[in-house]
């Protein structure tokens, strides 16, 4: 086809300064070719899934997944799910004209989800893979069983863990290898639907949906944000390609795992209990000293940290985001500052 009248780039501008532009001006659903399709296949293999499709953000992706769920299915929602999951559930009602029935279950409690699931109704279970507050993985195998018993599916927002956690091996016992996320780390059989922003694990500002081929095909064809919004930009896709082609990914995970073990040991030695499983978001609710006091003391030493309130606990939390590119000098300064902040003595 020679003449194209589908793009909404009305003024014909090319803001990127290149002939191709950053976007085509077309909704994702009407693109003749899906940018990044080979990349989504690679991501799907990471997750043990049949297929994948890219989205602008995890919010876009979750709206598309939940809007194309099995008809009239109840949404069983973890009560402490990350806010984007709650926003997506709310947006589904706005898209479809009437909100879905939503039943909340206790955080990471598959038995409670089973009890609360309406009888003789289909159910879609929605949870985060790894909770960013308590840093514990959701019981994905048990939640998947709840979904199967109600002729539905498990939808996991794995934004925190995708690209970081993977299949655990004797050589990679902390973070694992392969980047397949929480399900791979837990050794859960594939079959669930995974949504993940790739901005954290792979530094690429876009998201992916992976799952069984027919399920992803339904998202690709009927997802409302794919009909009413554009796809990820060419720059976003290029960033993802660059990340996936990086030959140092496993070495980076191994170096990062060393940082995780090191900082968790420092906190434990200082009697500041680290939360959850080993992950590069290292958090503590305190122990020897109040976490907010430690946060302020670290700031006085030139160390930036995060002070939050846990969604699932309601308690103040000190968090540190570790990266593979943190060097030895930075790690030593962090250790010294933590020791000074907790003991009250200058580092």
Lowest mean pLDDT among 30-44, 104-118, 218-232: 30-44
Structure tokens at 10: 């009305």
| Cα three-residue angle 198-330-162, rounded to 5 degrees | 15
Q: How far apart (Å, rounded) are the C-alpha atoms in residues 280 and 259? A: 8
CATH 3.90.1150.10-classified regions of the chain: 249-343
Query: Using alpha carbons only, how large is the chain's radius of gyration in Å?
Result: 22
pLDDT of residue 13 exceeding 80: no
Residue labelled with tokens 């018993």: 149
Tell me if 297 sits within 8 A of 340, measured CB to CB.
yes
Model confidence, pTM: 0.92
CA distance from start to end of the chain: 69
Tell me if 273 sits within 8 A of 267, measured CB to CB.
yes
CATH 3.40.640.10-classified regions of the chain: 28-244
Residue labelled with tokens 């199967």: 148
Q: Distance of CA 241 to CAs 58, 205, 229, Å?
A: 18, 12, 22
* Phi, psi at 344, each rounded to 5°: 85, 10
Nearest partner of 71 among 141, 192, 153, 148, judged by Cα:
153
Task: Return the bridge partners of 281, or none.
Answer: 321
Predicted local distance difference test score (pLDDT) of residue 1: 47
Residue labelled with tokens 């985001």: 321
Predicted local distance difference test score (pLDDT) of residue 305: 95
- Domain topology for 28-244: 3.40.640
**pLDDT, tens digit, 9 for 90 and up, residues 126-145:** 999 999 999 999 999 999 99
CATH 3.90.1150.10, domain 249-343, yes or no:
yes
Average pLDDT over every residue of 291-304:
95
Q: How far apart (Å, rounded) are the C-alpha atoms in residues 315 and 310? A: 6
**pLDDT, tens digit, 9 for 90 and up, residues 222-240:** 999 999 988 898 889 999 9
Give 94's pLDDT tier (boundaries 50, 70, 90). Answer: confident
Average pLDDT over every residue of 284-307:
95
Predicted local distance difference test score (pLDDT) of residue 318: 96
**Residues 40/182/139/73 CA torsion (nearest 10 deg):** -20
**pLDDT, tens digit, 9 for 90 and up, residues 171-221:** 999 999 999 999 999 999 877 899 999 999 999 999 999 999 999 999 999
Residue 269: Cβ within 10 Å count:
12
Tell me if 53 sits within 8 A of 68, measured CB to CB.
no
Q: What is the DSSP letter of 130?
A: B
């Amino acid at each position: 086809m020679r003449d194209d009248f589908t793009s909404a780039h009305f003024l014909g501008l090319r803001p990127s300064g290149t002939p191709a532009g950053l976007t085509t001006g077309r909704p994702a659903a009407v693109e003749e070719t899906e940018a990044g399709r080979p990349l989504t296949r690679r991501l799907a293999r990471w997750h043990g899934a049949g297929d994948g499709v890219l989205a602008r953000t995890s919010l876009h992706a979750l709206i598309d997944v939940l809007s194309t769920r099995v008809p009239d299915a109840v949404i069983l929602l973890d009560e402490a799910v990350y806010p984007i999951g709650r926003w997506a559930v709310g947006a589904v009602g706005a898209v479809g004209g009437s909100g879905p029935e939503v039943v909340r279950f206790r955080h990471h409690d598959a038995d409670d989800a089973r009890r609360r699931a309406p009888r003789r109704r289909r159910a879609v279970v929605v949870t985060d893979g790894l909770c960013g507050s308590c840093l514990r993985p959701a019981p994905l195998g048990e939640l998947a069983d709840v979904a199967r018993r109600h002729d539905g599916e498990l939808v996991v927002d794995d934004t925190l863990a995708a690209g970081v956690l993977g299949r655990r091996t004797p050589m990679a016992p902390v973070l694992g290898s392969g980047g397949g996320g929480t399900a791979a780390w837990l050794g859960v059989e594939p079959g669930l639907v995974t949504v993940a922003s790739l901005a954290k694990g792979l530094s690429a500002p876009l998201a992916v949906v992976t799952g069984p081929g027919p399920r992803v095909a339904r998202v690709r064809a009927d997802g409302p944000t794919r009909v009413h919004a554009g796809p990820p930009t060419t720059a976003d896709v290029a960033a993802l390609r660059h990340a996936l082609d990086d030959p140092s990914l496993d070495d980076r995970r191994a170096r990062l795992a060393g940082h995780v073990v090191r900082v968790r040991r420092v906190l434990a030695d200082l009697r500041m209990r680290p939360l959850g499983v080993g992950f590069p978001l290292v958090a503590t609710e305190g122990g020897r000293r109040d976490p907010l006091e430690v946060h302020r003391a670290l700031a006085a030493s030139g160390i930036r940290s995060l002070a939050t309130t846990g969604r699932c606990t309601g308690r103040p939390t000190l968090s540190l985001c570790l990266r593979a590119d943190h060097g030895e000098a930075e790690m030593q300064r962090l250790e010294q500052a933590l020791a000074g902040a907790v003991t009250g003595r200058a580092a």
